[in-house]
Amino acid sequence: MSKLNTNAKLGIVVVVLGALAGAKLAMGSRYGDTDTVNASAPLFATFKKDDVTRLLIEGPDGKKAELAKADGHWTVATESGGKADQALVDKALGALEKLKQGRVVSSSGDPVAYSVDGPKAIVVTAWGAGGPSSAPVAKFALGKAENDWRNCFLKLPGESSIRSVEANVGDFGPTTGDTWRDKTLYAHGETEKVEQVEVAGPNGVIVLKREKVMGEKAPAESATAEGEAKPADPAAAKEVKEVVWNLVAPKEGRAKKWLCDSLAGYAAKLECSEFHSGTEKAADLGLDPPQYTLRVRFEGEGASKDVLLLGNKGKDGKYACKVPGEEQISWIEGWKGDYLTKSVDDLLDAPPPAAPKEEPKEPPAEPAKGDDAAKPADGAAPANADGASLPVSDPAKPNDGGSGG
């Protein structure tokens, strides 16, 4: 009985192994070979991302980005030498450094079918200190695996083998805006340090000022000893109770804090959504002269400075803008521009509802004073000084001493 059970178990094992072998053959028939080439070993053993000084990425549809490093800063050579987005560069170099040798899936397959050649391929080339005049420290072609965001196909120059590697084609290109340039228009300081914001527009200049409302410090948890000396500086006994925004021109009043905090954030730092590449000139976009000028003053500064020139709102809802003194025209999202073009009425905070007015009440009647107090009420008997009632003559009786008739 036990022998039969043993034979049955062996039969199950054989069937399972046969199924696994069939699956492996099926995979091999789809991708070609299934050899492993130290899959977890680095693809470029001596590569160090900090040594890279030039990076060329040739993407689908003829797109190309060439990034150059000088004095520790990256620029986009293919976009007029504009400052590169450091986060995008770090992402690409980090992904390149992490590449493993992967698994060979084909030794003779059509490279176009694996997207490592043709219109869908991405070719990455990196150079070290010698730049393009020296041999690359890394070069490969990358293709996206269909319905698989974690893996890609990769082919090295001079090899016919095609590998499957853990990578994402999105690491080697900008995610939005199709540019490697840094979209930060300016970064002048911390939002919390903004003391005043001014917006000069068609209807004049709006001035908003941040102010700190001071108050007495809350008593400490442990009461101070009786007779302990008080601080010599009265200001030391006060603390910031609230930070508010006040409109100081052209009207005066309390402003909406949440709205002014947003304005202060845009005055301190602002990013664009894209760079203008059309044929329209600054005057065509309402930037010469500008429709609005944004100014900011930080704590400790004597005067406000211009930080942004704002133009017209485009058909897609975005606003054209420029940084003073620069030629580049950019576009910011419509909701950001809408904040910068608020009217005085939009900025003013609604006053609290007035309390209902109470009608004055009539005061209670006061007791009579002086001569009136000595007078008895109608029909009452007159009183002596001590309050006793005086006798009243009976009109039906004759008076004493009177003669009878």
Q: Specify the higher pLDDT residue, 294 or 223.
A: 294
- By three-state DSSP, how is residue 84 classified? strand
Domain span at residue 188 reads 184-216+238-347
* 165 and 84 belong to one structural domain: yes
- Residue range 166-186: average pLDDT? 90
Mean pLDDT of the chain: 82
pLDDT in the model for residue 159: 92
Using pLDDT thresholds of 50, 70 and 90, give the confidence band for residue 146. Answer: confident
- Residue range 88-114: average pLDDT? 94
- Residue range 88-102: average pLDDT? 95
Query: Is there a domain that residue 259 lies in?
Result: yes
Domain end: 148, 172, 196, which one? 172
* 212 and 343 belong to one structural domain: yes
Beta bridge partner(s), residue 184: 271
Query: Is there a domain that residue 352 lies in?
Result: no
CB-based contact 64:57 (threshold 8 Å): yes
Using pLDDT thresholds of 50, 70 and 90, give the confidence band for residue 307. Answer: very high
* 127 and 191 belong to one structural domain: no
Using pLDDT thresholds of 50, 70 and 90, give the confidence band for residue 21. Answer: very low
Using pLDDT thresholds of 50, 70 and 90, give the confidence band for residue 15. Answer: very low
pLDDT in the model for residue 308: 98
* 81 and 104 belong to one structural domain: yes
pLDDT above 80 (res 336)? yes
* 198 and 336 belong to one structural domain: yes
pLDDT above 70 (res 97)? yes
* 101 and 247 belong to one structural domain: no
pLDDT in the model for residue 14: 38
User: For residue 350, which phi and psi values (nearest 5 degrees)?
Assistant: -65, 130
Query: Is there a domain that residue 62 lies in?
Result: yes
Query: Is there a domain that residue 397 lies in?
Result: no
pLDDT in the model for residue 364: 66
Domain end: 322, 347, 372, which one? 347
- What contacts 286, CB < 8 A, 6 or more positions away? 311, 312, 320
Query: Is there a domain that residue 194 lies in?
Result: yes
* 98 and 145 belong to one structural domain: yes
Q: Could you say which DSSP state residue 93 is in? A: H
User: Within 10 A of 180 (CB to CB), how many other CB atoms are there?
Assistant: 25
Query: Is there a domain that residue 128 lies in?
Result: yes
pLDDT tens for each residue of 22-74: 433 333 333 344 455 588 999 999 999 999 999 999 988 788 999 999 999 99
* 206 and 274 belong to one structural domain: yes
User: Within 10 A of 389 (CB to CB), how many other CB atoms are there?
Assistant: 11
pLDDT above 70 (res 294)? yes
pLDDT in the model for residue 91: 95
Query: Is there a domain that residue 122 lies in?
Result: yes
CB-based contact 269:186 (threshold 8 Å): yes
* 127 and 76 belong to one structural domain: yes
Using pLDDT thresholds of 50, 70 and 90, give the confidence band for residue 17. Answer: very low
Number of domains in the chain: 2
* 117 and 194 belong to one structural domain: no
pLDDT in the model for residue 334: 97
* 115 and 205 belong to one structural domain: no
With 0.85 as the threshold, say if the pTM is over it: no
pLDDT in the model for residue 306: 98
Query: Is there a domain that residue 82 lies in?
Result: yes
Using pLDDT thresholds of 50, 70 and 90, give the confidence band for residue 398. Answer: very low
Q: Please list the helix, strand and coil fractions of the chain in percent, rounded to the nearest 5, in that order.
A: 25, 30, 45
Domain end: 347, 367, 394, which one? 347
pLDDT in the model for residue 34: 46
pLDDT in the model for residue 229: 59
* 270 and 159 belong to one structural domain: no
- What contacts 96, CB < 8 A, 6 or more positions away? 44, 47, 49, 124, 126, 138
pLDDT tens for each residue of 225-252: 555 555 556 656 788 789 999 999 999 9
Q: Specify the higher pLDDT residue, 71 or 369.
A: 71
pLDDT in the model for residue 58: 95
